[in-house]
Structure 1
Amino acid sequence: MFRVAALVCVLTAVFAPVGLVLGIIGLILGLVALRMTRRPGVTGRGVAIGGLVLSLLAVLVAIAFAAGVTTFLNNEKAVDRLEHQVQDLRDKLRH
């Protein structure tokens, strides 16, 4: 559950920090589940591995998104272009 929620949150971009946290929780729970599947008679190894993969994917996408946003915000020209576009949109809405 955490794995899918983490991936969805990360892909919506607005909830990327939430997705990162859920992804980390999913990784921890996936590792616990994988360890539990080593016990005799316990099944679900494939589900645990699938959960680990989804959680890892969510964490990697969240980190990449954070790196992209940080790079964009540190680029002064890109921020100026964005401010100019927002101002143009405001001007169009006023008319």
Structure 2
Amino acid sequence: MVTSTFLNLKWTKEKNKIKKRAKKKQTTRYKETYLQRNIIRNSGQMTNFYFNVRLVDYFKTLHTYFLFSYGNKYFLPYIDLIYRVTSFLTTFYT
């Protein structure tokens, strides 16, 4: 089992790396993905960086499909789905 101090140091290093990249690339799309990655990462404290990036791409597809294709009809079930999937994956991979 990894101690929480080690995980906090690891997260700090990864956040600093992403902030440096964000300063280099000042595009809107990059800023959006940077914020989404931090929201997903901080909500569940998942340790696998590659998995976080893939999860962000997966939720982007869900955003487009549910929210923009059908309007507000699926908004609450969609939020519930995001919560359930994220909580399941964070407990499964941590």
Query: Does the TM-score normalized on the shorter chain lie above 0.5?
Result: no
Task: Normalising by structure 2, report the TM-score.
Answer: 0.30
